[in-house]
A and B are shown apart, each in its own frame.
Chain A
Amino acid sequence: MKNSQLYKGSLTTIVMKLLEENGRMYGYEITQKVKDITKGELKITEGALYPALHKLEAEGVLEVEVENVDNRLRKYYKLTEKGSAETINRLAELEDFIRNMQTLVQPKLDY
């Protein structure tokens, strides 16, 4: 992941936001989607994505569905009811964070 330290803390929020928009998704689809949206600037590594998904699943934020696609089993993730509520909180938190960072990085000099 590009400059991973900065993005690391937001990975779960990114995943939850994507699932909120797209309903259910599988692991590889999530990595591709992020790559597409950010035009290749942000690449989620496999080693980070799956642990994040499993953690959210264990916390009851995500649930899984399995389907047989092209000779293999595919695991889809989607938000639970609890997960949808949690997504709103996390997004608000992330927006606060972005706003605060902006004020810190570009302080207004005119007062």
Chain B
Amino acid sequence: MKLNAEQVERLYAFTRQHYVEYYDLQTELVDHLANAIEEQWQQNPKLSFEEALNIEFKKFGVFGFMEVVEKRQVALNKKYNKLVLNEMKVFFSVPKIIGTFSAIGIVFYLLKFFQEGLEIAQGLFGILIVVFIIGLAILSRRNKKNTRQTGKKWLLKEIIFGYSSLAGLINLPIQLALRLNGKHYSDSSLILFSLLLVLLCLTTYIVLVLIPSQAEKHLKETYPEYEFVN
């Protein structure tokens, strides 16, 4: 005996009740539960759907689906970080590396030239932070709207549009900006500042513009089912 469409829907609802928000994970767990229930029916055809479901759910242990969800988050965050890193590498390969190093050079000379007014460096960091926060807010709003329309949440999409582990990076420029204190800095530390500023600008660009613009491609690669249901 096979599950009917209504029972499959009930399984989706069941995973949602047990805190699996993401459609990609729901789908996999629904198929697993469905197979297991069908297997139980082969051995004991009198078992009701709900009884069979309860028996299967118990096999996941006291924490239910929680562990599966958590580990999936870790795995996809890793994947996302790899995406960002790969994009970053492009900026350090020919021909883009020329642009990257010129940018670092320009920032360095600006900082050196305005040595006395380190508020400028602080200001640059400040602008970067504000841009990052505003950008994240815009992205996550756009994603929320989209999720409402489709009714489906995808973990990688959530990571790409705002809930990114890289958001923690924002702490770095804050710390740096706070530590600048107007004293005379050596050339090497100015070079380091310039490098960091450019790296942060690049990260901001990759996280806020580049990857979201290719989101559909990444999602289709990760989720073959993405095209099925959207």
Q: Which residues of A contact B (CB under 8 A)?
A: 26-29, 32, 45-47, 50-51, 54-55, 57-58, 64-66, 68-75
Least distance between B127 CB and chain A CB atoms (Å): 34
Least distance between B219 CB and chain A CB atoms (Å): 13
Find out whether the CB atom of A27 lies under 8 angstroms from the CB atom of B31.
yes
C-alpha gap A46/B29 in the complex (Å): 9
| A45-B61, A73-B27, A74-B31 known; A51 vs B67 contact (CB < 8 Å) | yes
Give per-residue flags for B213-224: 1 if the beta carbon is below 8 A from chain A beta carbons, else 0: 000000000011
Q: Does B4 contact A (CB under 8 A)?
A: yes
Which residues of chain A come closer than 8 Å to B28, judged between CB atoms?
A: 27, 50, 75
Least distance between A93 CB and chain B CB atoms (Å): 22
Which residues of chain B come closer than 8 Å to A54, judged between CB atoms?
A: 71-72, 75-76
Residue pairs across A and B with Cβ atoms less than 8 A apart, 7 shown, are A46-B68, A50-B71, A66-B223, A66-B225, A68-B228, A72-B31, A73-B30
Find out whether the CB atom of B71 lies under 8 angstroms from the CB atom of A51.
yes
Q: Does B94 contact A (CB under 8 A)?
A: no
| A68-B228, A71-B4 known; A46 vs B75 contact (CB < 8 Å) | no
C-alpha gap A46/B229 in the complex (Å): 25
C-alpha gap A12/B55 in the complex (Å): 26
Which residues of chain A come closer than 8 Å to B5, judged between CB atoms?
A: 71
Nearest to A54 among chain B residues (CB) is: B75
Find out whether the CB atom of B67 lies under 8 angstroms from the CB atom of A72.
no
Give per-residue flags for B1-36: 1 if the beta carbon is below 8 A from chain A beta carbons, else 0: 011110010000000000000000001111110111
Which residues of chain A come closer than 8 Å to B60, judged between CB atoms?
A: 45-47
Which one of B36, B78, B224 contacts A58 once the chains associate, using CB atoms below 8 Å? Answer: B78
Find out whether the CB atom of B75 lies under 8 angstroms from the CB atom of A55.
yes
Which residues of chain B come closer than 8 Å to A29, judged between CB atoms?
A: 35
Known: A68-B228, A73-B229. 12 other contacts (CB 8 A): A27-B28, A47-B67, A50-B68, A50-B71, A51-B75, A54-B75, A64-B224, A66-B27, A70-B2, A73-B228, A75-B27, A75-B28
Least distance between A44 CB and chain B CB atoms (Å): 11
Nearest to B227 among chain A residues (CB) is: A66
Least distance between B59 CB and chain A CB atoms (Å): 6
C-alpha gap A65/B228 in the complex (Å): 12
Which residues of chain A come closer than 8 Å to B27, judged between CB atoms?
A: 66, 72-73, 75
